[in-house]
Amino acid sequence: MKKSTNIFVGSLIALTLAGASAARADQVLRFATWDSGESLAIEQKIAGKFEETHPGIKVQVEPYADGFDQKLVAAFGAGNPPDVMYMWNFPQYYTSLMPLDDLIARDAAQIKPDDFPKGLMNTTRVAGKTYGMPAGFTTQVVFYNKDMFKAANVEEPKDGWTWDDLRAKAAKFRDKDKKIYGFAVDAKPDPYDFEQFLWSNGTKYISDDGKTIDGYMNSDAAAQVLDMFADMAKKEEAVTLNVGDDTTGLTLFKGGKIAMFQSAMWSKAGIDSAGFNYGVAPLPKFGDKPAHSALGVSAISIAKDAAHPDLAWEFVKFFSSPEAVAMRTNDLPVRSSVAEAKGMTKDVVYKPFFDILATSDKETHAFLKNANWGKVQDNLARAIEGTMIDQGNAKQHLDDAVKRSQRFLK
């Protein structure tokens, strides 16, 4: 009888464990991403690594690609969001996301929040709460064609250079017959990135409390920035993009038609493929003021109504680990320790991206400060374009933008 009982109990335990294993195997963690191609493949490898350390768990990577926002909005609306997702537009989505501050504090020994630069963490916060962990980033730099500089006998840019230095160099490359310029300015820049120039000249679009634009967006310092770019176009120190055709600055730079090109990491692969020698310089300064850069940051967030919130946090922690950060070779590392271990903070190509990150941790992009910023930004974009087309009168255009935008701040 004892033997039979043992067999029965053993069988019961085996069945229970099998049932638990089966239940665990049914646990699918959904991860939505906007990436495709090589970046998607890397994320799938990271998901596979997570599965190896979490037997019975399946990470379902959902590549939404160009339809990311539409699919994500639909998923939230239907009450069936992915557990974790890539994120950047926190003002739009934060009410549907899980605040992470308590989890970060609880697992600080594993997360090591101080290893993530403050500037990157700032982009994931709304109203003082953190809604994502940085996944990848880029700052802005100036790429320059070393071959063109050598042929024109122009000294290459150095750390600490100014916009006056850039303009003087750019003027030396102008060749009307060959349609060659020293630089390119955009008549329709992304206002998100353009704010970096106001920061660098001691101002910003909107007050830190998100309530005031008069005296900020239309300040003398802001007008000075915009008038400078218009004057560069007027004096043909730079070609003006997005006026008359849609040829990109990257196309002109790769084709040897401009000697210097301001952009970010997303342009590097294309420049590499062009096959000429290039250097990377930091953004120029306005006089003796420190240069600041816009921060292009992707993050990973958890849905407030995630089906598996605890497991989702485990995945976010792994995605934020040094191992996973090092795997994401298409992004600049969001952990300082990983960037240093890879030698990127000293590499001549990558160093400028990290150097300016260190000076860009005290400002917050305008869209994070006011829920109606998108409407204000439309008026601002028209003011920038109007100044570039007029090749001047920035203060007038900015004053008008402020006047038309005041009602959105109430």
Instruction: Please list the residues that pair with 22 across neighbouring strands.
Output: none
Yes or no: say if 172 and 260 are a contact pair by the CB < 8 Å rule: no
> 353: how many CB neighbours lie within 10 A of its CB?
24
Q: What fold characterizes domain 2-131+297-358?
A: D-Maltodextrin-Binding Protein; domain 2 (3.40.190)
* Order of strands, sheet of 141-145, starting from the edge strand that comes earlier in the sequence: 260-263, 141-145, 278-281
Helix, strand, coil shares of the chain, percent, nearest 5, are 50, 15, 35
Give the separation between CA 199 and CA 291, rounded to whole angstroms: 8
Q: What are the sequence ranges of the domains in the chain?
A: 2-131+297-358, 141-295+364-409
Q: Mind listing the pLDDT tens digit for each residue in 89-98?
A: 999 999 999 9
Give the separation between CA 350 and CA 348, rounded to whole angstroms: 6
Strand 133-138, strand 296-302: pairing: antiparallel
* Order of strands, sheet of 28-33, starting from the edge strand that comes earlier in the sequence: 58-63, 28-33, 84-87, 296-302, 133-138
For residue 183, the 8-state DSSP code is: E
User: Helix 394-405 vs helix 220-234: angle between axes, to the nearest 10 degrees?
Assistant: 130
What does residue 174 show for φ and ψ, rounded to 5 degrees? -65, 120
Six-digit token string for 215:
């005296």
Angle, CA 330 vertex, CA 327 and CA 333 arms, to 5°:
60
pLDDT at 391: 87
pLDDT at 243: 87
Of the candidates 86, 33, 65, the residue with the CA atom closest to the CA atom of residue 297 = 86
- What's the per-residue H, E or C state across 109-173? HHHCHHHCCHHHHHCCEECCEECCEEEEEECCEEEEEHHHHHHCCCCCCCCCCEHHHHHHHHHCC
Yes or no: say if 373 and 334 are a contact pair by the CB < 8 Å rule: no
Tell me the CATH number of domain 141-295+364-409, given options 1.10.8.80, 3.40.190.10, 3.40.50.1000, 3.30.470.10: 3.40.190.10
Q: Mind listing the pLDDT tens digit for each residue in 45-67?
A: 999 999 999 999 999 999 999 89
Give the separation between CA 266 and CA 279, rounded to whole angstroms: 16
Give Cβ neighbours of residue 163 (< 8 Å, ≥ 6 apart): 228, 284, 285, 286
pLDDT at 17: 39
Q: Mind listing the pLDDT tens digit for each residue in 115-127?
A: 999 999 999 999 8
Yes or no: say if 170 and 284 are a contact pair by the CB < 8 Å rule: no
Q: Mind listing the pLDDT tens digit for each residue in 96-155?
A: 999 999 999 999 999 999 999 999 999 999 989 999 999 999 999 999 999 999 999 999
Tell me the pLDDT band of 244, cut-offs 50, 70 and 90.
confident
Whether pLDDT at 12 is above 80: no
What does residue 214 show for φ and ψ, rounded to 5 degrees? -65, 125
- What's the residue count for the chain? 410
